[in-house]
Amino acid sequence: MNPAAGPDAPLQSAFASLRDGERPVGAGVLVAERLVLTCAHVVNSALGRGRFEQSTPAGGDTVTLRLPHIAPARDLTARVLRELWVPPRAHAAGCVPVEPGRVPYHGDLAVLELTDAPPEGAEPAPFLQHSHAGEVIALWASGNPLPTVRAVPRVSAPPWIALDVLGGAQVTEGFSGGPLWDRERQAVVGLVAAVHRAPETAPPGAQPTTMYAISVPAIEAELPALPPSAVPTARRGVQQLLTALERVLKGREAVLACEQRLAARLGRPSAGPAADLDRLVGLAVGVRRGLPELLDLVRDYEPTAAAAPYDHPAHYGAREDWERLRRAARTVRPGEYLTTRQRRDLAGLLAHCTRTDPGTLLERVLPHAPELPAVTGLADAVDALEGFGPATAAPVPPLLQGVVRIAVEERAGGPYPAEDLDAWAERVAARSGVDEAAVSQFRADIEAAAAPAPPPGAGPRAATAPRVQVELLPTPTGRRFTYQIWTFADGHAHRLALVHDAEAGSEQVVDDIRRVLRTEVREDPETALVEYFLPAAWLGLDVDAWESPDSDEDGPFAPGLTRRVVVRTTERSRESYAGWKQRTAALPHAKRLVLDHRHTDRKVARAQLEIHRDAGTVIVCCAPHHHGTLLRQCVQAGVHTVLWHRADHGEHLAQDLLALVDGTDHTEVPEAVRLERAKAMAEPESAGHPGRKLSLLYDAPDHRPPQLAPDAWVLTQP
C-alpha cells in the first residue's frame, strides 16, 4: 500500500508508529533508508521503561514499529543506536534528570535502526527549519488522519518551538515523537515532544493548548552524527546552479572528484564513474546544508575562482563566475549559508555568550525588515539571520554582521569567546567569498559606535547619515505654516530641535532648517537628509524647491540642491502600512510602475496598484492637477517611493524618470534626485531638463517613520 498522492504524501511515506504490542505509544519519522528518528521518552514507553529513563537500552532490546501508510499490517523491528541516544535532561549541560511536569527540557531524542529493509514506497522525509508564521500539522501515533492536529508556531524557545493548537483539538501523549509537518513548504520542521493544556476550569478565551516540538536546529545540535536530512525538491534556481557550476568546474575530472567528496561528506553513496554535473547538483540540493558543503568543496578544488581577485585583474572573470555560483546557491536554498561543521562550531561558541540580547541583535542587524521573528536565544537568532540575504549595497551578509556584533558585545566579559567568534567570522567570510577588508571595516564601525562618549572637550564623534525632519502643518491657504524640526543622527534618539507655533512662510521654514543644520547636526562624513512630513492632502507643496532669502554671508540656502530633500506623509493607516510591508518585502525583485494620463481616474489608479502589489517605486507622469489624486492613491496602497515632475508630463518625461531610477538601489534614489536637480540648475539655458521641479515622496524601509508624536505616529510603527 502506497500513500495516495496529495499534500501529505512525503509525510505519509516516512511516518512511523512505535508500538507496545498492538497499542501505539508514539510516532517517529524515517530520516534515512533504515533510520527512524523519534523521542527517547517514546522509546522508553515502547520498552516498558520509565518515561525519563536515562540509561541507554540494552543491545538486545528491540522496538516494534509500523509504517501505517505504507504497510499498515506489517510489524518492523528496530534497535536503538547507542551513539544516537540522547535521553531527556533538565539542563543544556550535564545529565540531571527531568522533573515531572517541567518544560522545556533538553535532549529527548533517539534514532532507531531497522533490522530489515523498509517496505517498498517508504522514503525519508524532507526537513527544513520552521517558519514563524506557517501553519503545521501533527499526526497521532496510529497515523490515522482523523485526530490530526493543526497548530501555528508562536515562539521559538530553544531547544523547542511553542505552538498554539487551533480549533480546540485534543493533544495526547500519542503525538510524541511524531513529525511536525509544514504542508505549504512540504517539509518536517520539528519533532513533537510535549503538550501543555489549559486547566478545565479556565475561563472562555483563555490561552489555547500549547504544543511543544524539538526544532530542527536543536535536533542537528543534539545528534551531530545523524546523516544530513533530505530537503524538499528544489524548483527554483537549479538551472542557474548548473550553468554556474559549468563555468567554475573545468572538466569531467573536477566534477567526478567533487561528487565523490560531496557524497562522502553527506553520507550518501557516490555514483562513481557514472557521476556527472546533474548528479552532483541533485546530491547537493537534495540534502539539508548540501549546497554550502558543495560551495566549500568547489572552493577547495578550484581555489582560483574563490580567491580574492582584486589584486590580480586576470582573476576578475573567475571571481565573477564564483559570485554567480554563490547567487545561484542562495536562490535554490536562501536559508542555508553555513556548512554543518560551521554551524556546529558557531553553536558551541554561542553557548558561552551571556551579554548579548537576541531580540536586540536582530533589530540592529535587520533595522528595516518588515517583520522580525520571535526568538529567545542567540542560536535561534543566528539561525534567523542565516535566512536573510545581504542588502544590495552591503558587502557583509546579515549572519556575519550578527556574529561580529556578538563578538564586540561579549568582549567586555573577556577574550573568550569574543576572539574565537572573530576568528570564526573571518574564516567563514574567507571561505564564502566575502571580502576580509569589509568584515574588518564593519567590526571597526561597530566598535566605534559602541565606544563610550568622548570626555568633555574632546569633541563629538562623527555622525552617520544624519537627518533633519520637519513636521509641517499648512494653513488652509497652503502659504503659511506651523512646524516642528527634529534631528536624528548616529543611532541616537530623535531630538526635538525647534518648535515654531506661529504661522510663518516658506523662507522662514528654510532659514530655521539652516539654523538647525548649523547648530545641531555634525555633517561628517555624509550631508544630512531633509525630510518634510506633510498631511496627504498637501503632498503637492513644492517644499523641495524652497529657498531662504539672500544674506550677506553666503547667499540663499536651497536645501533641494545641497541636501537630499524628500517628502513624506504623516497619514499612513493600518491598511496602507500593510501594503508598505508587502512592497518592502518585494524590493529585491520589484519592478517600477508608471501612472500616467490613462490612470487619473481613482478607480483605475487603484486597480493598477492592486495588480502591481510588488511595485515599490511609482513614476507619476500626468497633468499636474491630477497629482494629488494619484499621490494619495499611492500612499493608501503602501507605495514608499514616488517620483514626479511638478510641471511637465508626457511619455518622454516618464522614460527620463525611469532611466533615473533604473539600476539604482532604493537607498540611492534621494541622492540621484538631488544630483538631477543640481544638473538642471547648472544648465539655466536648458529649460526642458527633467531635474527642474523634480519631487520625491520617500518612505522607503531605511527611513521608517519615527514616533514623533504618539497619537499621529502610532499606526506607522512596525
pLDDT tens, 140-170? Answer: 988 888 888 999 888 777 788 888 888 777 7
Residue 153: its pLDDT value, please? 85
**Could you tell me how many helices (H) and strands (E) the chain has, helices first?**
23, 21
State which residues of the chain have pLDDT below 70.
1-5, 133, 197-208, 302-317, 368-371, 390-394, 451-465, 489-494, 522-526, 550-554, 572-575, 588, 687, 700-718
Q: Could you tell me if 180 and 192 are in contact, meaning their C-beta atoms sit under 8 angstroms apart?
A: yes
Residue 540: its pLDDT value, please? 85
In the three-class reduction of DSSP (H, G, I as helix; E, B as strand; rest coil), residue 242 is classed as helix
CB atoms within 10 A of CB 344: 13
What is the rounded end-to-end Cα distance, in angstroms, of the chain?
50
Q: Which region, left, alpha or beta, applies to residue 360 given φ > 0 means left and ψ of -120 to 50 means alpha?
A: alpha
Give the amino acid at 243.
Answer: T
Q: How many CA atoms lie within 13 A of 153 on its CB side?
A: 26
- Cell 547507542 belongs to which residue? 82
Does residue 227 have a cis bond before it (omega within 30 degrees)?
A: no
Q: Could you tell me if 566 and 529 are in contact, meaning their C-beta atoms sit under 8 angstroms apart?
A: yes
Q: Could you tell me if 159 and 213 are in contact, meaning their C-beta atoms sit under 8 angstroms apart?
A: no
List the strands of the sheet with 564-569, edge to edge.
Answer: 495-504, 481-488, 467-474, 529-534, 564-569, 694-698, 641-645, 617-620, 592-595
- Torsion angle of C-alpha atoms 41, 42, 44, 50, degrees rounded to 10: 60
Cell of 423: 576568528
Alpha helices in 554-701 (DSSP H): 559-562, 574-585, 602-611, 627-636, 651-661, 669-682
Cell of 159: 531547544
Q: What is the helix (H) or strand (E) element at residue 495, kind and residue range?
A: strand 495-504
90/97 Cα distance (integer angstroms): 6
Nearest to 397 by CA among 328, 490, 335, 489: 335
What tens digit of pLDDT does each residue of 474-495 get?
888 888 898 888 887 655 556 7
Q: Which region, left, alpha or beta, applies to residue 626 given φ > 0 means left and ψ of -120 to 50 means alpha?
A: alpha
Task: Tell how strand 35-38 and strand 187-196 pair up.
Answer: unpaired
Q: How many CA atoms lie within 13 A of 98 on its CB side?
A: 22
Q: 150 forms bridges with which residues in the sheet?
A: 137
Burial (Cβ within 10 Å: 0-12, 13-18, ≥19) of residue 647: exposed
Q: What is the helix (H) or strand (E) element at residue 87, kind and residue range?
A: none
Residue 200: its pLDDT value, please? 53
Q: Could you tell me if 171 and 211 are in contact, meaning their C-beta atoms sit under 8 angstroms apart?
A: yes
Q: How many CA atoms lie within 13 A of 300 on its CB side?
A: 9
Does residue 57 have a cis bond before it (omega within 30 degrees)?
A: no
Going by the DSSP 8-state scheme, the letter that residue 276 receives in this structure is -
Q: Read off the pTM.
A: 0.56
- Cell 540642491 belongs to which residue? 561
| Domain boundary assignment for the chain | 8-222, 235-304+315-332, 340-450, 467-567, 572-698
Cell of 299: 572552493
Cell of 628: 494629488
Q: Could you tell me if 192 and 178 are in contact, meaning their C-beta atoms sit under 8 angstroms apart?
A: yes
Whether CATH 3.40.50.300 fits 8-222: no
Q: Could you tell me if 591 and 614 are in contact, meaning their C-beta atoms sit under 8 angstroms apart?
A: yes
CB atoms within 10 A of CB 368: 14
Alpha-carbon separation of residue 557 from 350, 454, 562, 683 (angstroms):
52, 32, 8, 19
User: Which residues, 6 or more positions from 31, have their beta carbon under 8 angstroms from its beta carbon?
Assistant: 14, 37, 111, 124, 125, 127, 226, 227, 229, 230
Angle between helix 378-386 and 358-365 (nearest 10): 20
Taking every pair of Cα atoms in the chain, the longest distance, rounded to a whole number of angstroms, is 98
